[in-house]
């Protein structure tokens, strides 16, 4: 409670022993929001939703109450209702940055990247110092194929927080999509340094090293990632390709078979396994894998054309 408000309250109590109505209303609203936040923090989402709905009935002009209702609904998975609550919070007080941020999170969860970008742009005009918001805006831009603006946002986030988790990863991914593999690899390695438990960075860095002919460096990256997540297709597939590049064909077969167990319909893994069989002189198994690749490719094309499941 602020010092001035506390003094006013004390004076009123001393004079009349009765709390003024306006202050009681403010305290009651604060108590309601505190109760909702406590339920959210403890993971009692249904309880938080019920409490927030009740509070909305009592305080229909409170932007904060609608914002908390939106948070509770979003956590419950009711995205459409959450959007309605956040929009109402903005109508009641358009100067609060958090409402635009929260609404953008709902949009991102639904892959509505154009709407998310607009919300985040508004948010950052009100609060430009949020490094995470710059990453989210960059992510939205990148998914809209606006790679240059995305890179600009990722750089802004890193200027604010050079060790922000996922910022280097997203910047590396944007560089990789441009074909700038040198800078991409540098960013993926920085992400590994600052965020060593995030396995996707190992896979992307490993792919680039392998593409550039650095099989030993790629092998080290895939193995480090697999120690964190042994049952990961990308890691097993990557390590299988490393074994192929190093002409370790039986080992390549083992890794690629493990990858296929994780993703049985992956055409690229079946093709790599066929090459391993070829190199070992097992033409029968190689032909079987090539035939399976053709079958999977045909199924993929039927699915892409929208005629999957139709009878000839």
Structural contact between residues 218 and 237, judged by C-beta atoms closer than 8 angstroms: no
Res 61: pLDDT: 95
What is the tens place of the pLDDT at every residue in 27-70?
A: 688 999 999 999 999 999 999 999 999 999 999 999 999 999 99
What is the tens place of the pLDDT at every residue in 128-149?
A: 999 999 999 999 999 999 999 9
Structural contact between residues 244 and 217, judged by C-beta atoms closer than 8 angstroms: no
Pinpoint the alpha helices (H) of 212-306. 215-228, 233-245, 249-262, 267-279, 283-305
What is the tens place of the pLDDT at every residue in 83-127?
A: 999 999 999 999 999 999 999 999 999 999 999 999 999 999 999
- The residue segments making up the domain with residue 80 are 44-112
Structural contact between residues 192 and 205, judged by C-beta atoms closer than 8 angstroms: yes
26 closest CA partner among 64, 67, 66, 57: 64
Does some domain include residue 162? no
What is the tens place of the pLDDT at every residue in 183-204?
A: 999 999 999 999 999 999 999 9
Does some domain include residue 53? yes
pTM score, two decimals?
0.83
Residue 157 has pLDDT above 80, yes or no: yes
pLDDT confidence bin for 304, thresholds 50/70/90: confident
Does some domain include residue 91? yes
Cα 312 to Cα 204: distance, rounded to the nearest angstrom = 41
What is the tens place of the pLDDT at every residue in 162-172?
A: 999 999 999 99
What's 99's domain CATH number? 1.25.40.10
Does some domain include residue 104? yes
Crossing angle for the helix pair 45-58 and 21-41, to the nearest 10 degrees: 160
CB neighbours of residue 157 within 10 Å? 25
Does some domain include residue 252? no
Longest distance between any two alpha carbons in the chain, whole Å: 99
Res 17: pLDDT: 39
Cα 307 to Cα 41: distance, rounded to the nearest angstrom = 47
Crossing angle for the helix pair 97-109 and 113-126, to the nearest 10 degrees: 160
What the block records as the tokens of 115 is 């709407």
Q: What is the mean pLDDT of residues 17-34?
A: 62
For the chain, what is the domain count? 1
Does some domain include residue 51? yes
Does some domain include residue 70? yes
Does some domain include residue 200? no
Res 20: pLDDT: 44
- Between 25 and 261, the more confident residue is 261
Residue 24 has pLDDT above 50, yes or no: no
CA 46, distance to chain mean position in Å, is: 24
């Amino acid at each position: 409670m602020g010092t001035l408000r506390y003094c006013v309250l004390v004076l009123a109590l001393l004079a009349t022993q009765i709390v003024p109505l306006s202050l009681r209303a403010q305290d009651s609203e604060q108590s309601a929001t505190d109760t909702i936040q406590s339920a959210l923090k403890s993971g009692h989402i249904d309880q938080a939703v019920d409490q927030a709905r009740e509070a909305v009935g009592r305080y229909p002009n409170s932007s904060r109450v609608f914002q908390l209702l939106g948070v509770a609904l979003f956590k419950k998975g009711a995205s459409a209702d959450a959007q309605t609550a956040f929009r109402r919070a903005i109508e009641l007080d358009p100067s609060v940055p958090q409402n635009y941020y929260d609404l953008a999170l709902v949009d991102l969860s639904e892959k509505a990247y154009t709407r998310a970008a607009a919300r985040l742009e508004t948010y950052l005009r009100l609060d430009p110092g949020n490094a995470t918001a710059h990453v989210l805006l960059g992510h939205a831009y990148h998914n809209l194929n606006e790679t240059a603006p995305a890179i600009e946002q990722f750089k802004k986030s890193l200027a604010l927080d050079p060790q922000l988790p996922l910022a280097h990863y997203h910047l590396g991914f944007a560089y990789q999509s441009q074909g700038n593999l040198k800078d991409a690899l540098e960013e993926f390695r920085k992400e590994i340094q600052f965020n060593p438990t995030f396995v996707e960075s190992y896979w992307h860095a490993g792919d680039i090293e392998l593409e550039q002919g650095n099989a030993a460096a790629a092998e080290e990256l895939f193995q480090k990632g697999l120690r964190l997540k042994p049952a990961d297709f990308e890691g097993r597939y990557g390590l299988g390709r490393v074994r192929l590049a190093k002409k370790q064909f039986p080992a390549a077969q083992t890794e690629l078979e493990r990858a296929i167990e994780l993703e049985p319909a992956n055409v690229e893994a079946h093709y790599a396994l066929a090459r391993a069989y070829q190199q070992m002189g097992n033409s029968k198994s190689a032909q079987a894998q090539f035939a399976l690749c053709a079958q999977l490719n045909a199924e993929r094309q039927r699915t892409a054309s929208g005629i999957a499941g139709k009878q000839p």
